Structure 1
Amino acid sequence: MSFHTGDRVVLPPYGIGVVSGTCHRPVAGETHVYYQVDFPNTASRAFVPVRAPQGAGMRAALTAADMPDLLCRLQDSQTLNLPRQWAARHRRVTEILVGGDPYELATLTCELRRWNIERGLPDLDRQAFRRAIRLLEQEVRGLEDQCAQDVQRLLDHAWNETPT
């Protein structure tokens, strides 16, 4: 997969960035070509090898065409078989957050949202829940179609819910 200047990309675990071009950088005596990825609202920048962006986990950000599937995943309330034991659950949740797959994040969000409504979340699970929501919000931000707005409203609602 190749990317072009201006493309929105995701670089887990950093989030959404924009390809600002390519550059040549010397590494171990050889010159290699890298995508320069800038992260909006920060001074952060990443350099990802043009030869193998997938090796760094870089992928194209979701588009408006992806919003119906994401919304469906968020509304479906699929269960994610998370371990009850904290250390194992924390490992699995961290894998999902670092992996950055939006559909896995949506499933994690649904599961943690269900737990939050049923009994409230312990602090570390609540942090993971909010991190998953923030990562999804980054993908949706800037998309103007109705479905993206529905996703954003659902995420806003989940963020502000309290246990019953």
Structure 2
Amino acid sequence: MKTPSFRPGDRVVLPPYGVGVVRGTCQRPVAGETLAYYQVDFPNTSSRAFVPVNAPQGTGMRPALTTGDMPNLLKHLQAGQELNLPRQWAARHRRVTEILSSGNPYELATLTCELRRWQVERGLPDLDRQAFRRAIRLLEEEVRGLEDPCARDVQQFLDRAWNETAH
């Protein structure tokens, strides 16, 4: 499998931190040798991460969604595919944490739909509501700044879902 290559200015996702921007590469000494790293800065924070150039997939780093990905993401959100989360809290919490940590936008969309359904049917316990909001925020980060009608539809869907957590 080919190692992905990133350039300065590329929007990337680094789970579970969210969307960042590759600022460039740098050399850093590690265990007696000098290795190349991508410097990833996170907008509106002073946070940054250094990701090995030779193995970014080991950290889960991937390109952020683009406008071309929006129709598929919207389809996932509108389909409302069931996730069949465990009813027992500890098992459910473990599975939800895995999905949030993975950063996979389509799994996050499915989780958002499932927790939204639970919210409508019976209301969410506090920790599930926090997970619901976290999933929405992670998706919003990827959609933010994309300017096309489908991206706006995704954002409107996420806004409605967020407003439902207030009740």
- State whether TM-score is above 0.5: yes
The change in CA–CA distance for 1:163 and 1:18 in structure 2 (over 3 A counts) is closer
* 3-state SS of 1:151 partner: helix
Structure 1's consecutive aligned runs of 4 or more residues displaced over 2 angstroms after TM superposition are: none
User: 2:140 corresponds to which residue?
Assistant: 137
Residue 18 of structure 1 aligns with an amino acid whose one-letter code is: V
Unaligned runs of 5+ in 2: none
User: 2:29 corresponds to which residue?
Assistant: 26
The answer on whether the counterparts of 2:12 and 2:63 sit within 8 Å (CA) in structure 1 is: yes
User: 1:16 corresponds to which residue?
Assistant: 19
Match for 1:68 among 65, 68, 71?
Answer: 71
User: 2:94 corresponds to which residue?
Assistant: 91
The answer on whether the counterparts of 1:117 and 1:163 sit within 8 Å (CA) in structure 2 is: no
Unaligned runs of 5+ in 1: none
* 3-state SS of 1:66 partner: helix
How far off its partner does 1:86 sit? Answer: 0.1
Deviations along 1:49-68, whole A, 9 cap, x unmatched?
00000001100000000000
Q: How many residues align?
A: 164
Q: How does 1:1-164 map to 2 (within 5 A)?
A: 1-161=4-164
Q: Distance in 1 between matches of 2:18 and 2:165?
A: 26
How far off its partner does 1:163 sit? Answer: 9.2
Q: Distance in 2 between matches of 1:4 and 1:122?
A: 42
Deviations along 1:105-160, whole A, 9 cap, x unmatched?
00000000000011100000000000000000000000000000000000000111
How far off its partner does 1:161 sit? Answer: 1.5
Q: Distance in 2 between matches of 1:11 and 1:91?
A: 20
Q: Distance in 2 between matches of 1:110 and 1:22?
A: 38
Percent identity reads: 80
* 3-state SS of 1:51 partner: coil
* 3-state SS of 1:48 partner: strand
How far off its partner does 1:104 sit? Answer: 0.1
Q: Distance in 1 between matches of 2:56 and 2:166?
A: 41
The answer on whether the counterparts of 2:64 and 2:142 sit within 8 Å (CA) in structure 1 is: yes
RMSD, matched Cα: 1.1
